[in-house]
Structure 1
Amino acid sequence: MTGGWAADVLLGGIIALGASVQRLTGMGFALVAVPALVLLLGPAEGVVLANCAAGVISAVGLVDGWREVRPAAMVPLVLAAACTVPAGSWTAARLPEPVLLVGMGVLVSAAVLLVMRGARVPALRGVRGAVAAGAAGGFMNSSAGVGGPAVSLYAVNAGWTVREFVPNAQFYGVVVNAFSVAANGVPRLAPPVWLLAGAALAAGTVIGKALGERVPERRARQLVLALALAGGLTTLGKGLWGL
């Protein structure tokens, strides 16, 4: 449950914003939504709701792009993620909330900064790189709800174009979020809140598609990363305040 109608409206707005940026840029739902959901619902509920919503929005995006998925790259990524998702869930379940908030804030902020820089890491190339990125992404996704940046860094080092990255990232999002939901369970929300979340997800998808025809992709990605960095730093600050 959330904390009343105002919190429910805020929850819907967060999900709609995350869905719109995901549809607009092919990435960003978790980066934008997780810090806000964690602050609104708490770390455990915020992460699992983000896992559910990100999995759905990735599945919707994959409908048109599944033919572009690269199995040779995705198989080691998702298998490695499957191995580390339980470890992420175990870790998150045992940390005090302030420590978990600090960890989430650090992970989100560091991931955003690495993606902004387009970091080149030789270890993130080839099959070995896919395994490393998948393992890191699985752990981060189940513990903090943000597994996408690891795949983004792998794509940068593999030399993928945006056109190549989007369907593969969506495939990864479907599979890894399914693993994470299986490990963490689903959030305890009232049926009306679930309906609100579904409506917000649909509305955000429509808005993102409409904006995609008007907003340059580079500018949209910069906005997503700026919002994500602000959210990560806010989460970090709240965690430090609670220590």
Structure 2
Amino acid sequence: MTALILLSGIVLLGASVQWLTGMGFALVAVPALILLLGPAQGVALANCAAGAISVVGLAGGWRRVRPAAMVPLCAAAACTVPAGTWVTRQLPQPLLLLLMGALVTVAVALVMRGARLPALHGRAGALTAGAVGGFMNSAAGVGGPPVSLYALNAGWTVREFVPNAQFYGVVVNAFSVTANGIPALNAGEWAAAGGAMAVGGVIGRAVGDRMPDRHARRLVLLLALTGGVTAVAKGVWTL
């Protein structure tokens, strides 16, 4: 029962965050999910949940998707997803925890600094962000930060970023689910996760109407940073 309550709470928080910002389920939820379910199952569940939330979110904003940027992003991600899956299958669990926690922590730090990187400009930047994001999404469930950095360097507004992030989330998580498989949850765990996603969506929309974008963004990054550092500490402890 305790595990079900923890699972529901993690998924609810991640879903609320994704509805607030257009991206962020994995950043917030993955560190906790891998501690609760293990790296492979935690990442697989994050891929499924983030992809499903992105499908629903994209329904109302697909007309604002920018094909010129998203096609190279998604094509590059498709090429690197298998590499991320292969890496996770070669490493023992403590090293996986270290890898995933480190990826989350570094990615959050770069986004918090608002890093301006020449490598993320133009078509080459889209390919770079997509390739790194695809690898990170299948390896650690967190493919969003490279896309966030690309959007930051391209000067996108939040209104422009959200539908494109949702589109990327649909595509890259579909690739990742194909590579990583469906998580082996029982019926009760699936029900808990599904119910938490629905409730999280309601909460995220309600809070999103009242919370300024900068506050929502700061909350997501602080939660993600805490989770990433915790995963690193757990990996070090179990080595």
* Short-chain TM bin: over 0.9
Q: Which of 166, 169, 179 is the matching residue for 1:173?
A: 169
Structure 2 match to 1:232: 228
Question: Any unmatched runs of 5+ in structure 2?
Answer: none
**Alignment TM-score, normalising by the size of structure 1:** 0.97
Q: Which residue in the other structure is 2:183 paired with?
A: 187
Letter of the structure 2 residue corresponding to residue 109 of structure 1: T
Q: Distance in 2 between matches of 1:229 and 1:219?
A: 15
Within 2, Cα distance between the matches of 1:221 and 1:27? 10
Which residue pairs with 1:151 in the alignment?
147
For residue 204 of structure 1, report the CA deviation from its aligned partner.
Answer: 0.1
Which residue of 104, 116, 137 maps to 1:141? 137
C-alpha offsets along residues 77-101 of structure 1, whole Å, 9 cap, x if unaligned? Answer: 0000000000000000110111110
1:211 to 179, 202, 207: 207
Q: Deviations over 1:150-187 (max 9, x none)?
A: 00000011111111100000000000000000000011
RMSD of the TM alignment (CA)?
0.6
Residue 170 of structure 1 aligns with an amino acid whose one-letter code is Q
Q: Secondary structure at the match of 1:214?
A: coil
Is 1:51 paired with 2:37?
no
Q: Distance in 2 between matches of 1:177 and 1:62?
A: 14
| % identical aligned pairs | 71
Structure 1: state its 5+ residue gaps. Answer: none
Equivalence for 1:108: 104
**CA offset at residue 195 of structure 1?**
1.4
1:14-64, CA deviations, whole angstroms, 9 ceiling, x for partnerless residues?
001000011012221110000000000000000000000000111111011
Distance 1:184 1:30 in 2: 15
Q: Distance in 2 between matches of 1:201 and 1:12?
A: 8
Aligned residues: 239
Name the CA distance, whole Å, in 2 between partners of 1:75 and 1:161. Answer: 19
- Measured in 1, the distance between the counterparts of 2:139 and 2:221 equals 20
CA distance in 2, matches of 1:91, 1:67: 36
Q: Which residue of 1 aligns with 2:14?
A: 18
Which stretches of structure 1, 4 residues or more, deviate above 6 A after TM superposition?
A: none
